[in-house]
A = this chain, B = another copy of it.
Amino acid sequence: MNRRLSTISRKEVAKLAGVSEATVSRVLNNVGPIKEETRLRVLEAARELGYVPNALAQRFARRKSGNVGVILPFVPKVHLFSTYYFAEILSGIGEAAKACNYDLLLIFREPDSPRDYAKLFRTQKVDACIVLGAQNVAEERAALAELQEEGYPFCLVNQRFDEEGYLTVDADHESGSYTAVQHLIASGFKRIAFLNGPGAFSSSGDRLAGYERALAEAGIPLSEERIFTGNYSRKSGFEAAERMAERIKNKAIDAVFAANDRMAIGLMDGLREHGLEAGKDYGLIGYDDSDSSRIVSPKLSTVSVPFYEMGRRAAMKLLATESEEMENTILPVQLLKRETT
> Which residues from B are CB-within-8-Å of A291?
79, 83, 291-292
> Which residues from B are CB-within-8-Å of A95?
108
**A327 is an interface residue with CB less than 8 A from chain B:** no
Asked if residues A106 and B122 are in contact (CB atoms below 8 Å), the reply is: no
**A137 is an interface residue with CB less than 8 A from chain B:** no
Q: Which residue of B lies closest to A69 (CB)?
A: B103
CA distance A52 to B150 in the complex (A): 15
Interface stretch of the complex, out of A54-62, A160-168, A216-224: A54-62
Asked if residues B65 and A90 are in contact (CB atoms below 8 Å), the reply is: no
Q: Which residue of B lies closest to A266 (CB)?
A: B295
> Which residues from B are CB-within-8-Å of A70?
106
> Which residues from B are CB-within-8-Å of A151?
5
Mask for A113-131, Cβ within 8 A of B = 1, else 0?
0000001001111000000
**A63 is an interface residue with CB less than 8 A from chain B:** yes
Asked if residues B55 and A123 are in contact (CB atoms below 8 Å), the reply is: yes
> Which residues from B are CB-within-8-Å of A103?
105, 107, 125
CA distance A84 to B83 in the complex (A): 7
**A186 is an interface residue with CB less than 8 A from chain B:** no
Asked if residues B88 and A79 are in contact (CB atoms below 8 Å), the reply is: yes
Q: Total interface residues on A, using CB and 8 Å?
A: 50
Q: Which residue of B lies closest to A92 (CB)?
A: B78
**A297 is an interface residue with CB less than 8 A from chain B:** yes
Interface residues of A in 20-71 (CB under 8 A from B): 52-57, 59-60, 63, 65, 67, 70
**A19 is an interface residue with CB less than 8 A from chain B:** no
**A149 is an interface residue with CB less than 8 A from chain B:** yes
Asked if residues A56 and B60 are in contact (CB atoms below 8 Å), the reply is: yes
Q: A78 touches which one: B59, B63, B91, B106 (CB < 8 A)?
A: B91
> Which residues from B are CB-within-8-Å of A234?
295
Known A-B contacts A110-B98, A125-B103; the reply to A88 vs B78 at CB < 8 A is yes
Interface residues of A in 232-267 (CB under 8 A from B): 234, 265
Known A-B contacts A3-B149, A83-B83, A292-B292; the reply to A124 vs B55 at CB < 8 A is yes
20 pairs, CB–CB < 8 Å, chain A vs chain B: A5-B150, A54-B123, A54-B124, A55-B124, A56-B56, A57-B60, A57-B124, A70-B106, A78-B87, A78-B88, A78-B91, A79-B87, A79-B291, A90-B106, A91-B108, A98-B108, A104-B107, A105-B105, A292-B295, A295-B295
Which 10 A-B residue pairings sit nearest by Cβ, starting from the closest?
A83-B87, A60-B60, A94-B108, A55-B123, A56-B124, A104-B106, A52-B122, A56-B60, A78-B91, A106-B106
